Amino acid sequence: MNHPFVKMNGAGNDFVVVNALETPFTPTAAQARAIADRDTGQGCDQLIAITPSDRADAFMRVWNADGGVVETCGNALRCVGWLLMQSTGKDRVTIDTLGGPTTAWRVPGRVGSGPDGRRGASDPEGSTTAARIVPGRVGSGPDGRRGASDPEGSTSAAQIKVDMGAPRLDWTQIPLEEAMDTRGIELQVGPIDAPLLHTPGAVSMGNPHVVFFTDRQDDAFVSGSGSLVEHHPLFPEGVNVGFAHVLAPDRIRLRVWERGAGLTRACGTGACAALVAASRRGLTGRAATIEVDGGTLRIDWDEASGHVFMTGPVEIERTGTLTLQPDPG
């Protein structure tokens, strides 16, 4: 059976998004890994299925690149929100996930090309049939990826804002294996008397995160430390590992080793977790621009509601059709 898909990204965090609203899409872990493989498959950080929901506009299912099912994905929520708004004509949609329901909506204004020159999703009249997740009018992006083109050939992109809900800060909600103050948990990387990293903040944004505050953010250090911490016994469900460098009270440079996906160009829930962890430690205020490898995200932790809001661009790279191959077993 064929399944139409859209290849999208949010600030560089890329997804294969499949419309399963009418046709079931239930890949095995091996099939999800095959789709995500960048050499032999479509290539992505996460595989996404948009499925029916009885309490929201749709339900979003998420598989990481390793084939594991995870609770949610912040950047994917923006991408799926844009697709649903394009296809329904709504300005606001609700998306349910294993991590709980989320609301997404458009924000005024449009953003231009991303920092690496890629073209953004743009289609104010809904002319690209990518909104229905079938092949449509798609233009060529300057880095070889394909970008959505609007009727005027603009390179601008929609800005989508998502209510990520209130951060979960109790140790049982992360979850941790034992009781700890999540503002700075008892964890370190490196020698006991001279750790390279220590005392990260722990936050759940529907999925578990720890955030180390450090200016060490090179690939080797992030990959080596992140892969070590991801499966630490302190985290019974594994953990996403953030490396945050606070540049100013309203700006953070962030890299994230994602559970089941590795080092990615952006992590939306990771950006939310970094702002919350930094604010709890008095390192920033309750709002900041988060610099990631693929661009920037705006994170606001609203004091009145306690909710975290994330704003950023979405981009279409290409459209196509998937055929699930037999599970190699």
- Enumerate the active-site residues: 73, 267
Closest CA to 242 of 181, 306, 291: 291
**Those residues with Cβ within 8 angstroms of residue 276's Cβ, 6 or more apart along the chain or in another chain:** 167, 169, 201, 203, 205, 301, 308
**Alpha-carbon distance 234 to 91, whole Å?**
41
280-289 burial, b at 16+ Cβ within 10 Å, e below that, comes to: beebbebbbb
Q: Reply yes or no: is the peptide bond before residue 236 cis, omega within 30 of 0.
A: no
User: Number of helices and strands (H, E) in the chain?
Assistant: 4, 21
Residue 200's Cβ-count burial label (10 Å; 0-12, 13-18, 19+) is buried
